[in-house]
Structure 1
């Protein structure tokens, strides 16, 4: 199912039910239409920020670097967030999240 929105910043907020957790995301991809071409990821290489990082090696830039082996992982607490700055207002039609298999 597609949607349509226009924004410069997208934020993913993660909260566990009744306990803390790590939020770990391998990819945070953004496309301008519901059907997408991975080479047109609007978030690829953009500035990403986060509420916290589990370590300096697991920073928010890993979620937008195009490398499926890297990831962002938060500190163990709730809530946590990951945000990408698209550089300017963009039309958004699809967001794809790839979570760590943990």
Structure 2
């Protein structure tokens, strides 16, 4: 947003009533998107695109789990091993966590 556009925004909207759980979910989505609460709400209301900022820690965990899975696979145990299946499940869980954060 340009500085002139920012300065022209002088109108205020009244407060919005919601449940505490809704407030917390909206705040979390704004944080995940890397936006202030006001900027997030404005973009939602104006049907503007919101590009989420991916959580760096979650990406690092996926990378670690992928490396562990590759290690187990190359050790010759392959698909049938219990460890390989456990790592695969953890990778799936992590991917689902990322997906659920931005629904």
- Same fold, judged at TM 0.5 (above): no
Tell which has more relative contact order, 1 or 2 (C-alpha 8 A, sep 6+). 1
Which protein is richer in strand relative to its size? 1
Higher Cα radius of gyration:
2
State the TM-score, normalized to the length of structure 2. 0.22
Decide which structure has greater helix share: 2
